[in-house]
Amino acid sequence: MNRHTPGRHDGEAKIRYLDGDFQVITPGSYVRCAVTGKAIPLDELRYWNVDLQEAYADPDAALTRHKQIKDQA
């Protein structure tokens, strides 16, 4: 989604995370990191977990979640 698209939605998007891609279910300009709570603009979204359907702000957040899941097992 282009930030300058007329009629864009500025709220939080609802996303379906797929392998290597994602699908916008409800339009918005960002999603929240499941670890940090940080808003991630959709055009900067690079890290997510398909099984958990979660987005991560950066590789450190993704690794943190991976370790949390491993510790629970």
The model's pLDDT over 10-33, given as tens digits with 9 standing for 90+, comes to 899 999 999 999 999 999 999 999
Mean per-residue pLDDT over the chain, rounded: 91
Residue 48 banded pLDDT, cuts 50, 70, 90: very high
Q: Where are the domains of the chain?
A: 14-72
Q: Which helix (H) or strand (E) holds 69?
A: helix 59-72
**Residue type present at position 53:** Q
pTM of this prediction exceeds 0.85: no
pLDDT of residue 8: 59
